[in-house]
């Protein structure tokens, strides 16, 4: 009496009970793909849509799997576009430098031990980091593992669950850019790239990196992965005009990134990224990256798809300094 709905037992994604019912298990995904007669690379499916931890279960996003099957196995973001992400984007772009630095760590494939709560209160989102990490975890933008209980709070290892969610964080990079330099600057930056004005593209990229990102924890082990994720974020807005591929086989090896134009008369672009041992070796490392593109014939996929105009770009990074070399 005198109360609303009560006596409800809540099971969040951190509980074991009912964990397998929040999405598809790996066995269920295999059965679905077999029934649909799709010969899709199971590892690629796992990379894109697995990675969610519900209790002790690894779960696939059911909406993404269903749509992937409906689209004959096309790997792309399905779930991330089903709701308005503006709240999440605003929280991340307005977050402190410390929070944004931690997000950069996550985008390199790293993990963070953070305090979270199962009881997220929206009124504290702008002031309490615990609420922010809790929201990102409970809404599917992060994965939790190795849970330690501390009263009502939990210590959890957080990481980005899969490629689909990583694409979202790459879009957030664009929001950082707009906040830093304005949308007109970003549009010009992208135009310089796609039309082949590489000198201005390099100047803008150098300015951006010098003023926008922290590199305190970018070591040799994770460095190339960080810059790789950064560059994919910078070109994310081109997805309506280009098929953006990463770490795919072409020619005699695996390229770092490729932009395949929908209009085959536009320029196709192949990237190879490398971390230079020092600033003095930037140019030599960039040239090495370019020569790798040529020697391993990474352009083959573009050529097979009827793209004649191809820009080959090698980029070397050393902390906040870069060097870009290219060839058409």
Residue 52 has pLDDT above 70, yes or no: yes
Residue 36 pLDDT: 92
Q: What is the pLDDT of residues 247-299, one digit of tens each?
A: 888 888 889 999 999 999 999 999 999 999 889 999 999 999 999 999 999 99
Q: Tell me the pLDDT tens digit for each residue of 154-190.
A: 898 999 998 888 888 877 766 666 666 666 778 888 9
**Residue 105: is its pLDDT beyond 90?**
no
| 115-166 tens-digit pLDDT | 888 777 666 676 667 788 888 888 888 988 888 887 778 898 999 998 888 8
Name the more confident of 97 and 203.
203
Least confident of 183-187, 191-195, 211-215, 263-267: 211-215
Q: Is the pLDDT of residue 195 over 60?
A: yes
pLDDT at residue number 199: 94
Task: List strands edge to edge, sheet with 242-250.
Answer: 242-250, 253-261, 268-275, 310-318, 321-327
CA-based nearest residue to 135, from 150, 114, 149, 151: 114
Predicted local confidence at residue 217, as pLDDT: 45
Pairwise pLDDT comparison (295 vs 95), residue with the higher score? 295
Q: Give residues with Cβ within 8 angstroms of 99, minimum separation 6.
A: 92, 129, 132
- State the pLDDT at residue 69: 93
CA dist., res. 280 & res. 254, Å (int): 27
């Amino acid at each position: 009496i005198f109360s609303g709905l009560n006596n409800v037992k809540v099971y969040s994604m951190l509980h074991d009970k009912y964990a397998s019912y929040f999405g598809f298990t790996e066995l269920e995904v295999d059965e679905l793909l077999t029934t649909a007669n799709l010969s899709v690379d199971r590892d690629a499916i796992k990379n894109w849509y697995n990675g969610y931890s519900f209790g002790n279960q690894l779960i696939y996003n059911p909406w993404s799997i269903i749509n992937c099957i409906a689209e004959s196995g096309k790997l792309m973001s399905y779930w991330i576009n089903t709701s308005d992400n503006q709240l999440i984007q605003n929280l991340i772009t307005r977050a402190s430098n410390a929070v944004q630095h931690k997000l950069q760590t996550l985008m390199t494939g790293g993990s963070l031990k953070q305090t979270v709560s199962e009881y997220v209160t929206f009124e504290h989102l702008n002031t309490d980091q615990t609420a922010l990490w809790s929201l990102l975890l409970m809404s599917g933008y992060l994965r939790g593992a190795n849970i330690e209980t501390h009263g009502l709070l939990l210590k959890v290892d957080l990481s980005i669950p899969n490629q689909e969610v990583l694409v979202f964080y790459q879009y957030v990079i664009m929001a950082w850019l707009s906040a830093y330099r304005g949308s007109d600057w970003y549009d010009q930056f992208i135009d310089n790239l796609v039309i082949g004005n590489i000198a201005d593209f390099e100047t803008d990229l150098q300015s951006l990196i010098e003023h926008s990102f922290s590199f305190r924890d970018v070591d040799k082990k994770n460095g190339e992965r960080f810059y790789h994720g950064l560059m994919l974020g910078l070109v994310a807005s081109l997805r309506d005009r280009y098929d953006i591929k990463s770490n795919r086989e072409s020619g005699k090896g695996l390229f770092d990134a490729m932009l395949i134009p929908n209009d085959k008369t536009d320029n196709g672009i192949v990237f190879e990224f490398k971390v230079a041992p020092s600033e003095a070796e930037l140019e030599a490392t960039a040239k090495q990256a370019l020569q790798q593109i040529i020697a391993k014939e990474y352009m083959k996929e573009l050529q097979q798809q009827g793209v004649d105009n191809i820009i080959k770009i090698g980029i070397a990074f050393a902390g906040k300094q870069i060097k870009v070399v290219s060839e058409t």
